Amino acid sequence: MSTLDIRTIAFPDPDILAKVDGRITDHQQTGIEFVVWSAENPTVEVNRAAIDAIILPYIDAQPTVDRLGELPNLKLVQTQTTGYDLVADLVGTNTTVATASGVHAAATAELAVGLALASLRGIDTAVRSMASRSWNHARMRSLADRRVMILGAGGIGEAIRQRLVPFEAHITRVASHARTDEHGRIYGPEDLPKLLPHTEVVIAVTPLTKQTEKLIDAEFLSQLPDNALVVNVGRGKVVDTDALVAELRAGRLSAALDVVDPEPLPHEHPLWGTPNTLITPHVGGDTSAFEPRIEQMLTEQVRRIIAGEPLINVVEG
């Protein structure tokens, strides 16, 4: 039995339940029950008081989070995302929160580098020129030799760093606190004023917390040099949208954004019309790599629950 004494695990839909169940031999003999329960699948036959652990939906988990109060004996919330901002208020309580850290690292890092390349090399502009059959040759910036700041030094930040190295970029890393690891120095937030004036590309992948909400604000952006590029593949609320829109409208900065605030971006939002802006609809981790990797991670988590072993990716309070 798990150290959390979990006996009933709720999956968000029958498909993911079946796939995890298929990877675990004879789980019915372990005394742990698998059920389906979420805002999209609120099965009436399920005894909600019996649910000890729940796996949140990957897409649009908020409606299920809003109903967690219906599970009075909940001991574990497992996300399918790296971020846990939707359930951050549970951290440090009697309910354990675990994330899908590692599952999305490769895919999100791919997109971060892809967005930076697309913006710097003018690929988005070339696509628009194709529509009008226009041949507009121009010298563009390379990723090689650019001074790139990775804002966030967790698993995704490290995956981005690994992919930037072959592009011969000059990499600076900033995290919640300064330290040194096997790859060199990681700066803290207090170092931003001296780093930003020399940064040509900022790639934000920091999680959303009280400390990082609107970290990239008007003051942050004003310290970047002209023509700097802001790439956000973390959380939309890390950026002050109004401040970014102001810089983009002025033509001083560029942006390549997979996450925005608000999200989804309303039809009439000014970000749709700002110059030097490339937007993708929060697809960083949603690739062909997602399903096999999340199934493997969830299977390992369930195996640990059954074996009573320490859980992986637990958020420390």
Residues designated as active site: 235, 282
Contact 87, 77 (CB under 8 A): yes
Rounded (5°) CA angle 88-91-94 = 135
Contact 239, 218 (CB under 8 A): no
Number of Cβ atoms within 10 Å of the Cβ of 107: 21
Contact 111, 258 (CB under 8 A): yes
Report the b/e string of 197-235 with b at 16+ CB within 10 A.
eebbbbbbbbbbeeebebbbeeebbebbeeebbbbbbbb
Q: How far is it, in rounded angstroms, from Cα 254 to Cα 126?
A: 16
Of the candidates 161, 136, 146, the residue with the CA atom closest to the CA atom of residue 227: 146
